Copies of this chain bind each other. A is one copy, B any other.
Amino acid sequence: MATHRTSTPLYRRLARQLQERIDAGTYTAGARLPSEPELSAEFDVNRLTVRQAVAELERAGTIEIRRGVGTFVRPPAVRVSIDVDPRSQRVDLGSVHAALHSRDGEEVVAAPPVTGSAEDLEAAGRLGRAPGELSRLESVIRLGAEVRTVSSYWLPSALLPPGFDRPGLRGNLVPELARAAGIELEYDWRAFGAIGADLADAELLGLPVGTPLLVREGVSCTPDGAPALYVRRRIVGSSARFVLHYREHPDR
């Protein structure tokens, strides 16, 4: 197997073979794959080549690698479904939180200064403000013990109640912030996208760089239409999805 007449790289053909075994049930969900030295011997390839194949399957989401233990076939992902009523115009104070929060809720981890970074400029543009008028908060939301969501908030500094920029603060950030600031918030718009975890998010989430994240971002405004908050959440893709129901009596 060490030679290759085709142009498909060895590690990819190995990955395909392993994927076929998983699809065929040779390795069932939850089962341990042969160790790297074993695969290396079986297919007569270098261990590094095995690792390339295995790394691809992990990025594809079909296996999970546990250091010091082994690599295992991933069972189908169980995602938390968060319902969004597409006709409601009001912020549902807690729909996201109810589904994603652990008992400890959201935790502020930092309040970095708003400089002129690309992120800051984009946020400023969304809010129709100058970067200098804004404050920024970073928070994490845990599911059980693990961080599953990282959020960034930008808002006019005048609307940031004292103490909310203190790292370690816990609670349901948006509703508590609105209450403390004495304002009402409603959705202006929300958008969904997907990106890979960058170095900073990967560290916060304890996951590999490039892990697929669902991005949900948007602007909330006060009832008179003034933009008051830009939020950008990155949610681990394998742990949640957002569902919009369009019929009065959902079938399932």
Q: A interface vs B, CB < 8 Å?
A: 12, 15-16, 19, 23, 56-57, 59-62, 76, 79, 81, 86-87, 89, 117-118, 126, 128, 186-199, 202, 208-215, 219, 221, 225, 227, 235, 237-238, 240-247, 249-252
Contact = CB atoms under 8 A, between A and B. Distances in A.
B126 A246 contact: no
Contact of A191 (B57, B213, B244): B244
23 contacts: A12-B199, A16-B199, A23-B117, A56-B209, A57-B209, A61-B210, A62-B198, A86-B86, A87-B87, A128-B252, A186-B247, A188-B247, A189-B246, A190-B246, A192-B214, A192-B241, A192-B242, A193-B214, A193-B237, A194-B214, A219-B251, A221-B247, A225-B249
Contact of A192 (B192, B199, B238, B251): B192
B60 A202 contact: yes
B212 A237 contact: yes
A89 B212 contact: no
Looking at chain A's contact residues, is the secondary structure mostly helix, strand, loop, or mixed?
mixed
A252 B219 CA distance: 10
Identical copies in the complex: 2
A250 B188 contact: yes
Nearest to A235: B194
Given A86-B87, A89-B246, A214-B193, A60 B188 contact: no
A95 to B, nearest CB: 14
A85 to B, nearest CB: 9
A59 B201 CA distance: 13
A209 B57 CA distance: 8
A196 to B, nearest CB: 5
Contacts of A194: 194, 212-215, 235, 237
- Which of A87, A246, A251 counts the most B-chain CB atoms under 10 A from its CB? A246
Contact of A76 (B118, B193, B244, B251): B118
A153 to B, nearest CB: 18
Contacts of A202: 60
Given A227-B251, A237-B212, A198 B243 contact: no
Contacts of A242: 191-193
Contacts of A196: 59-61, 210-212, 237
B188 A251 contact: yes
- Which of A56, A76, A126 counts the most B-chain CB atoms under 10 A from its CB? A56
